[in-house]
Amino acid sequence: MGGALALTLGALAYPAMLGLDTVSTTPDRVIANTQWGPLTEGERDFVVKVRAAGLWEHPLGQIGLQKGQSKAVKIASQHLVDGHAALDTSCRKIAPMLNITLPNVASPQQEGFVTQLKGESGKQFDVDFANILRMTHGSIFNTIAKVRSTTKNTLIRALANQANDTVLDHITVMEKTGLVDFDTTVFNQTTPPKLPKSDMTPPNPVPGQPQVVLNPPPNPTSTPLDLNAP
């Protein structure tokens, strides 16, 4: 499994949310002073990337509920839909408060993962589903911690808290499938190839296009940010 998986993931040029490390040219530069604290370029990109992650992982969770062969993959799929619906609601709440434009489509790289998994079935789907998503979530985990530990903006801090809990949950359920190749995952997380910025950046929304909403499951267990909480 390891050799085939390494080839598959290598051909896809490595996933999703690593773009966080490369989108900002000056991530610490303050781009706005708000009533919730200063907003940096990197923090703005963090909100955009959390939104973009949901735009591919939420529908992929819905696909997993239909195509997953094992109970563990179906459970992991439920967690994707549930967690990213709540995160998306939070992003859509705080983005206008911070004057952040959110994408309606994930990055080309992220969309490539959806296309690949849509074309797979059976055990191959389960294996690639678990490994791709374990790798993408593992890649963002340290970035969330950095944002959480350095931000002076209370809205960004609250979103980072929620993202941390959600990503840790998703890492855990992917590992519980028993399908994760840890050697390949760790290798790809620590030695990602260099990709063009355009491959890792979600496109700007089309003017006048309705904002995409990621709907929660019938009985959600994840909760969006309560901005009225003390």
193-218: pLDDT as tens digits: 677 888 888 999 999 999 999 999 99
Given pLDDT bands bounded at 50, 70 and 90, which one contains residue 3?
A: very low
Q: What is the signed CA dihedral for 31, 213, 167, 99, rounded to 10 degrees?
A: 10
Q: Dmax over Cα atoms in the chain, in whole Å?
A: 51
pTM to 2 decimal places: 0.87
23-37: pLDDT as tens digits: 456 888 998 999 999
Q: Is the dihedral of CA 214, 217, 223, 228 positive or negative?
A: positive
